[in-house]
């Protein structure tokens, strides 16, 4: 099956998670807002001063100058967070700091720098006789932040479906919310297979290798912000595997397995699919590495995506096939792979016949991409260390230096 068709098929099979849960603001970054966020208050909730100075009636000060200062009586002093209870009349003002509410009667603020202010002396509020000289006046509503200047009660601040980030959490916090209603994260089960595969940390025995796939997949899920993940290993026994999947089915929105999808005697996933009465979506996608991907659906709603056991095939399939499914399940467009075009710096050692995905290093400043040195076998792990992108070499391309190629950023 063509890659695009496989992606479309899988996205159609995914059942988006629309359950809603509340999360504290500090943990909401990366989550998808489930309901429109409406303002419950005007913002700011009161007219406020944008600077340190004096709340005045603009009309009293408008003709003030260095030569002809206007002198006003200071009724009092307020800091941000305080409220002046009185009213400002003709010839009066209130000393106030940035963020303080502009008192009733006043309609403009004079900058402290445009007065004769000295701490504890002229222009400070030291008692009922305190006065300030104003050298430069303000028109009414100059230096005046209106109540509701930012937004009004009832305005929609963030739409349902918005992916939350720091900026947007600031908006929510500013509107007084300490938790948000977001879509529940999809629950994902990852199962690696292979009788030869043992958990890292154990002693290496003859014929065995360590399980890297489980950690590639779980790690990549974590990179993308998915934390509701369970992972395990299973021997090459179709009955045990079917049992694991049957259990996982109860709690999962997606099951990802690795290994056992080729044509060997221990490629158990075909048998497992039959035992579980899964509806087959496809087996084999036209790409390299990781062609023998098998996908099926359980009970019309749970996709099971069975990847090759080859570590690089797993990595490539994750980016190309799993990410679109995660995007559909989580209703989060941020999960989509970021792609761009790059210019090949060197010849690809592999090309032709089939669409290939090579390990690459992309330099953003120059838009150049290097196919990494080292083994390009699908079972090789070490050459993935410097890899920051996949490079697509189309089947009809020679993968030569200078060609423009599509890049999938990791």
State the residues that interact with ligand AMP by CB under 6 A: 192, 194, 196-197, 209, 211-214, 258-260, 262, 308-311, 379
Element (H, E) at 241: helix 238-249
DSSP 382: G
Sole residue written with tokens 């701490």: 119
Interface contacts to Mg ion, rule CB under 5 A? 194, 259-260, 309
Q: Between 180 and 306, whose beta carbon lies closer to Mg ion?
A: 306
* Length, in residues, of the chain: 410
Going by C-alpha positions, the residue among 199, 208, 53, 210 that lies closest to residue 116 is 53
Q: Between 185 and 267, whose beta carbon lies closer to ligand AMP?
A: 267
Q: Between 143 and 310, whose beta carbon lies closer to ligand AMP?
A: 310
Q: Select the binding partner of residue 143 from ligand AMP, Mg ion, none (C-beta < 5 to 8 A, by kind).
A: none
CA distance 43 to 45: 5
Closest approach of Cβ 161 to ligand AMP, in Å? Answer: 36
Q: Between 17 and 241, whose beta carbon lies closer to Mg ion?
A: 241
Q: Between 182 and 269, whose beta carbon lies closer to ligand AMP?
A: 269
Q: Select the binding partner of residue 211 from ligand AMP, Mg ion, none (C-beta < 5 to 8 A, by kind).
A: ligand AMP
Q: Residue 355 in contact with residue 286, Cβ under 8 Å?
A: yes
Closest approach of Cβ 226 to ligand AMP, in Å? Answer: 19
Closest approach of Cβ 394 to ligand AMP, in Å? Answer: 25
Closest approach of Cβ 271 to Mg ion, in Å? Answer: 13
**Strands 179-183, 20-24: pairing kind:** antiparallel
CA distance 110 to 131: 14
Residue 157 three-state SS: strand
Q: Select the binding partner of residue 189 from Mg ion, ligand AMP, none (C-beta < 5 to 8 A, by kind).
A: none
Sole residue written with tokens 């496989």: 6
Going by C-alpha positions, the residue among 52, 46, 55, 145 that lies closest to residue 109 is 55
Q: Select the binding partner of residue 69 from Mg ion, ligand AMP, none (C-beta < 5 to 8 A, by kind).
A: none
Going by C-alpha positions, the residue among 205, 291, 298, 288 that lies closest to residue 249 is 298
Closest approach of Cβ 42 to ligand AMP, in Å? Answer: 57
End-to-end CA distance of the chain: 24
Residues 206-224: b if buried by 16+ CB within 10 A, e if exposed = eeeebbbbbbbbbebbeeb
Closest approach of Cβ 216 to ligand AMP, in Å? Answer: 8
- Residue 127's region, left for phi above 0, alpha for psi from -120 to 50, else beta, is left
Q: Between 47 and 311, whose beta carbon lies closer to ligand AMP?
A: 311
Q: Between 262 and 397, whose beta carbon lies closer to ligand AMP?
A: 262
Q: Between 308 and 348, whose beta carbon lies closer to ligand AMP?
A: 308
How many angstroms from the chain centroid is the CA of residue 16? 18
Closest approach of Cβ 257 to Mg ion, in Å? Answer: 10
Closest approach of Cβ 320 to Mg ion, in Å? Answer: 21
């Amino acid at each position: 099956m063509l890659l695009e068709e496989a992606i479309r098929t899988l996205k159609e099979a995914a059942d988006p998670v629309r359950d809603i849960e509340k999360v504290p603001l500090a943990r909401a970054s990366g989550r998808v807002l489930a309901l429109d966020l409406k303002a419950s208050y005007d913002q700011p909730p009161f007219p406020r001063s944008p600077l340190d100075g004096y709340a005045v009636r603009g009309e009293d000060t408008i003709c003030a100058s260095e030569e002809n200062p206007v002198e006003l009586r200071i009724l009092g002093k307020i800091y941000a967070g305080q409220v002046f209870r009185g009213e400002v009349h003709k010839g009066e003002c209130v000393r106030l700091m940035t963020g303080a509410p502009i008192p009733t009667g006043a309609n403009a603020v004079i900058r402290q720098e445009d007065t004769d202010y000295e701490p504890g002396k002229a222009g400070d509020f030291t008692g009922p006789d305190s006065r300030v000289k104003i050298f430069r006046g303000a028109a009414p509503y100059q230096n005046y932040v209106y109540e509701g200047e930012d937004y009004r009660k009832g305005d929609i601040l963030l739409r349902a479906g918005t992916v939350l980030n720091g900026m947007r959490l600031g908006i929510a916090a500013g509107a007084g919310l300490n938790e948000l209603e977001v879509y529940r994260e999809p629950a994902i089960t990852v199962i690696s297979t292979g009788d030869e595969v043992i958990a890292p940390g154990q002693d290496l025995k003859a014929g065995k290798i360590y399980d890297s796939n489980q950690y590639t997949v779980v790690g990549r899920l974590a990179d993308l912000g998915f934390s509701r993940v369970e992972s395990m290993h299973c021997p090459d026994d179709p009955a045990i595997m079917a049992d694991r999947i049957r259990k996982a089915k109860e709690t999962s929105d997606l099951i990802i397995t690795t290994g056992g999808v080729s044509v060997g005697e221990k490629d158990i996933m075909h048998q497992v699919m039959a035992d579980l009465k899964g509806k087959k979506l496809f087996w084999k996608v036209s790409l390299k590495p990781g062609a023998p991907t098998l996908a099926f659906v359980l009970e019309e709603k749970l996709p099971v995506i069975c990847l090759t056991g080859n570590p690089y095939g797993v990595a490539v399939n994750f980016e190309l096939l799993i990410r679109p499914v995660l995007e559909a399940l989580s209703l989060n467009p941020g999960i989509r792979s970021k792609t761009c075009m790059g210019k090949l710096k060197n010849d690809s050692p592999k090309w032709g016949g089939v669409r290939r995905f090579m390990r690459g290093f992309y330099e953003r400043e120059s838009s150049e991409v290097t196919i990494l040195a080292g083994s390009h076998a699908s079972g090789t792990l070490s050459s993935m260390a410097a890899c920051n992108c996949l490079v697509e070499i189309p089947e009809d391309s020679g993968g030569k230096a200078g060609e423009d190629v599509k890049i999938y950023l990791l």
